Amino acid sequence: MKTKYFFLLLSAFLMAVSCEKSEKLSAPVGLQGQQMGSTIVLAWNKVENAAGYEIWRNGTFLIYWYATNFTDDSPDNGYNSYEISAFNEKVSSPSSQINVFFDSNLSGGGGSNDNGGDGGSTPGGEAEQSLPITKSNLIGYWHGKTEAYSGSSTYDYSDIYINISNDGVWERIDVESKNKCAVTYGTWYLSGTTIYVTIVGENDFENGQCLVQYTGSSYTDLYGVELLTSKSLVYKTGQYPNLITYSYEKVSSIPASYIHNNDLNNGSNPDNGGSNESNLTVNKTNLTGIWTCNFNGDIYYWVLQSNGTAYSIADESSYMSRGSYHKFVGKWSVSGSSFIFNSTRHNYYDAGILDYSESENETEIVYVSSLSSTRFIDGDGNTWTKTTLPAYISL
């Protein structure tokens, strides 16, 4: 009886320890901070199971916060030490810490039309009216003209193009020479006067070919907008003393020679017997259709319909030929050099019969590095060819 009682107590103790471990929260990771004008902007990754975050500055409690970014509008001059911890109704996490330098001499704006400043001007001296920093005013194509400084060093990247899309897609093209450029792509959103850009991949192009693709990891950059007009965009990024100022002018488009450069531009495709194929613009009309790709025996289909409906279908070749496959249903749109698939339902078919169906809300961005009437190449270098659906796949 004593032995049984002992094991009951031990079991209860182990369950309590297990529950305590399962309730623990991890410290916020990916903590970043930088000066943006007269403020300091902080950002970090979401902590699983957290209800909110506790923010301290220089040993003084600031606020309980419920987002993964925070703007401190009254930082101390000099170094500011921030500590951020996660909490829920049961436990708190260890804190993460970052030191951010604030220089009040850098906090002034570019002048105001109300107090004699010009509010920004074109290189020729023509005054421009400043616009509210909103999503709609940021959307468009921008061409980098100057880049000011990073610490004591001066940089000049005179050919930088960015596409800020209404669909939340961000593309940046760094042109090193006529035949060499890098395309960085991801997603973006605006909070206050700060643009948050999450980069998901990068392609390097040289002599008309996509040579390298970087994917598999993501990171977030912060851009503090200092000036926005109908013609100009100026923002800063980095951390003091390595703040870099970017200046852009509005343009109607990105030159085609700087994007989608690949073997199709050369007029022949070695995988198709050298036949001529045109390099098409990435738009809804040219992408509408059924595309397939084989990934080491796993068959994938994109069904992109002209009415905006889309399907993503996938499974191993042997299963799919027996009518067993996953089908994701949703809508699609085109933004810049990418198409965006918003999946709302996941269906699984077993031997041609619907086995289960569940709702979901997932977004996939597919970067198109080249497009012809019969194929496209995605950001990972995979080739998708135009096809028709097998009879055993039902839409």
How large is the greatest C-alpha to C-alpha distance in the chain, in angstroms?
A: 94
Q: What integer is the mean pLDDT of 369-392?
A: 83
Express each pLDDT in 52-104 by its tens digit. 899 999 999 998 888 888 888 889 888 889 999 999 888 999 999 998 888 77
- Residue in 226, 218, 220 with CA at minimum distance from that of residue 245: 226
Higher pLDDT, 38 or 112: 38
Residue 114 has pLDDT above 90, yes or no: no
Least confident of 20-29, 30-39, 74-83: 20-29
Is pTM beyond 0.85? Reply is: no
| Cα-to-chain-centroid distance, residue 28 | 20
Domains of the chain: 23-105 (2.60.40.10), 131-258 (2.40.128.280), 269-386 (2.40.128.360)
SS (H, E, C) 261-279: CCHHHHCCCHHHCCCCCCC
Q: What is the pLDDT of residue 211?
A: 64
Residue 45 has pLDDT above 60, yes or no: yes
Q: What is the pLDDT of residue 248?
A: 86
- Residue in 370, 385, 376, 334 with CA at minimum distance from that of residue 210: 370
- Give just the sign of the alpha carbon dihedral 247, 249, 251, 257: negative
How many Cβ atoms are within 10 Å of 178's Cβ, its own excluded? 10
- Give just the sign of the alpha carbon dihedral 117, 122, 123, 127: negative
Instruction: Extract the tokens encoding 329.
Output: 């249903």
Q: What is the pLDDT of residue 253?
A: 81
Q: What integer is the mean pLDDT of 106-122?
A: 41
Express each pLDDT in 307-346 by its tens digit. 999 999 998 877 887 888 999 999 999 888 889 999 999 9
Residue in the block written with tokens 């700087």: 258
Least confident of 155-159, 204-208, 211-215, 309-313: 155-159
Q: What is the pLDDT of residue 327?
A: 93
Q: What is the pLDDT of residue 125?
A: 41
Express each pLDDT in 122-143 by its tens digit. 333 444 678 888 999 999 999 8
User: What does the DSSP 8-state code read for residue 19?
Assistant: H
Q: What is the pLDDT of residue 13?
A: 56
Q: What is the pLDDT of residue 274?
A: 34
Torsion of CA 243, 248, 253, 257, to 10 degrees: -60
Q: What is the pLDDT of residue 305?
A: 95
Confidence band for 246, pLDDT divided at 50, 70 and 90: confident
d(CA 219, CA 198) in angstroms, rounded, equals: 5
At 209, phi and psi to the nearest 5?
-130, 145
d(CA 12, CA 113) in angstroms, rounded, equals: 70
Reported as half-sphere exposure (CB side, CA atoms, 13 A), residue 202 has a value of 13
User: What does the DSSP 8-state code read for residue 87?
Assistant: E
d(CA 337, CA 316) in angstroms, rounded, equals: 29
**Per-chain mean pLDDT for the chain:** 76
Residue 161 has pLDDT above 70, yes or no: yes
